[in-house]
Amino acid sequence: MASLSVTRARTLPMRVLGEMDWKSVGRNLPMLVVAGATIWFVATFLPQQQRLSPEYVVQSATDVTKFTLGLVAFVAALEIALYIVLVRMLHWQYALPYMLLAPAAIVMAFLFIYPFFYNIAIAFSNRSLQHFLPGTYDYSLQYGIENFTSVFTDKVLHDTGFWEVFFRTWAWTIINVFFHVLGGLGLALLLNRPLALRGIYRTILVIPWALPQVIAALSLRGEFHYEYGFVNNMLVALGLPRVQWLGEAIPAFIAATLSNIWLGIPFMMVVILGGLQSIAAEFYEAADMDGASAWQKFVNITWPLLQPVVAPATVLGTIWTFNAFNVIYLITQGGPAEKTDILVTALFKSAFEFYRYGQGAAFAIVIFFALFSFSAAWIKISGALKAVNE
């Protein structure tokens, strides 16, 4: 018996090595290399840091652990309380689902439902920089009416009114989503053909989406610099005059749009490529037999069969573009002279640069309804996102 266990102990490491999934190790090798390099890098340079002292590391890690443990304790206490009330006392048939749901429901109530109604309350108050501390502001219907009418009649920014920003936002959204779908469709159609190096192209083309948006936006902002950005230097190399990209209204809008198109095409490309690959080849074989041209095949087979994929992706893309805060705020900052602000950046500025909380809250409700009515109408028309009613 003893000898048996000895042999087992000796062979175990060999067996583990022999049975390890080397292929999966190979597949994940790039990630492992990056992770290893990161750890080495941090271990080498961390000790020479000034601000990130060991005390701060310990302190912040403790804080965060306490927070996590607190959350777990809260969930546990909640579950015990619910168990006693719902199961032991009420014997309710839906006790279990409500117990499963309760922690998330409380978080959502605290972080979404309460702020949502609080936002409405703020819209009916005179809160601002002067009326910030409790006791200095109050709520009344009069303030609410003033706030809502001021959104439409007064300036929402320093000197730009609501409608100008509203129409610019829709122009921005429509132009962007149109080019996202067009570019994504074009690239996906090319990548869907039998082609060498397809995987490499696909990986490279996804990079604008994979890059953190803040990095992409801030770097593109530098590239639109009048003298040193590559856009202008490229224009000069082609024998064209330089453009004041960020200094004038229309070039700044074009710069932001180009950046956002660049950022948004990969998502559409990937989604549409997935849709193209799910279309059965038989459709095209039948069309070939009938002598259909490439264009006829596209109009009658590809495009209609892509709709289940393209429709929800367009809704998502529209919502994302409508809310493209980072792109506008980090590239043009809404400038020059507020000529490239869209609704969400205007809202951010009205609350956190001009400190008009009351008007800002009213503004937020107006924007919400604009977006919500669009989404509702689109969902109704296209039948996307059916899952809710099943």
Partner 1 sequence: MSTQTLINPPSIWKRLWRRSHGDSPLKRALIHAILIFACIVAIYPAIRVFSVSLRPGDRLLSTSLDLIPQDATWANYQRLLFQTDFFLWVWNSLLITIVTSLAGVLLAATAGYAFSRWKFPGRAPGLILLLTTQMMPAVMMLIPTYLMFVEITRTFGVPLVGSYLGLIVAYMMGSVAFSIWILKGYYDTIPIDLEEAAKIDGTSELGAFYRVILPLSTPALAIVFLFNFTYAWVEYPLARVILPKAESFTWTLGLRSLQSQFNTEWGTFAAASVLVAIPSLALFLWSSKWLISGLTIGSVKG
Could you say which of 63, 138, 154, 288 contacts partner 1 (CB under 8 A)? 63
Count how many residues are written for the chain: 390
Which amino acid, residue 164? E
Nearest approach, Cβ of residue 51 and partner 1 (Å): 4
Residue tagged 């028309």 (tokens):
381
Could you say which of 40, 98, 163, 178 contacts partner 1 (CB under 8 A)? 98
Return the number of the residue (80 or 204) whose C-beta is nearest partner 1: 204
Binding residues among 121-160 for partner 1 as defined by CB under 8 A? 122, 127, 134
Binding residues among 256-275 for partner 1 as defined by CB under 8 A? 262, 266, 270-271, 274
Q: Is 40 in the site for partner 1 (CB under 8 A)?
A: no
Nearest approach, Cβ of residue 248 and partner 1 (Å): 20
Residues 324-353, one symbol each (x = binds partner 1 by CB under 8 A, - = not), give -xx--xx-------------x--xx--xx-
Return the number of the residue (7 or 135) whose C-beta is nearest partner 1: 135
Residue 347 to residue 351: CA distance in whole angstroms: 6
Q: Is 388 in the site for partner 1 (CB under 8 A)?
A: yes
Q: Is 298 in the site for partner 1 (CB under 8 A)?
A: no
Could you say which of 81, 107, 171, 299 contacts partner 1 (CB under 8 A)? 107
Nearest approach, Cβ of residue 316 and partner 1 (Å): 8
Nearest approach, Cβ of residue 207 and partner 1 (Å): 5
Q: Is 88 in the site for partner 1 (CB under 8 A)?
A: no
Residue 315 to residue 380: CA distance in whole angstroms: 12
Residue 303 to residue 28: CA distance in whole angstroms: 36
Please identify, among the stretches 10-18, 171-179, 283-291, 318-326, the one whose residues bind partner 1 according to the rule CB under 8 A: 318-326
Please identify, among the stretches 11-19, 146-154, 172-180, 232-240, the one whose residues bind partner 1 according to the rule CB under 8 A: 232-240
Return the number of the residue (6 or 240) whose C-beta is nearest partner 1: 240
Q: Is 18 in the site for partner 1 (CB under 8 A)?
A: no
Q: Two tokens at 275?
A: 């849709």
Q: Is 226 in the site for partner 1 (CB under 8 A)?
A: no
Residue tagged 């409405």 (tokens):
120
Could you say which of 16, 196, 280, 381 contacts partner 1 (CB under 8 A)? 196
Residue 178 to residue 28: CA distance in whole angstroms: 36
Contact 332, 340 (CB under 8 A): yes
CA distances from 169 to 115, 147, 162, 321 (A): 25, 21, 11, 9
Could you say which of 6, 12, 20, 46 contacts partner 1 (CB under 8 A)? 46
Nearest approach, Cβ of residue 80 and partner 1 (Å): 14
Q: Is 30 in the site for partner 1 (CB under 8 A)?
A: yes
Return the number of the residue (102 or 337) whose C-beta is nearest partner 1: 102
Q: Is 103 in the site for partner 1 (CB under 8 A)?
A: yes
CA distances from 353 to 90, 122, 165 (A): 52, 17, 17
Residue 219 to residue 166: CA distance in whole angstroms: 27
Q: Is 241 in the site for partner 1 (CB under 8 A)?
A: no
Q: Is 54 in the site for partner 1 (CB under 8 A)?
A: no
Residues 156-195, one symbol each (x = binds partner 1 by CB under 8 A, - = not), give -------------------------------x--xx-xxx
Q: Two tokens at 49?
A: 């840091």
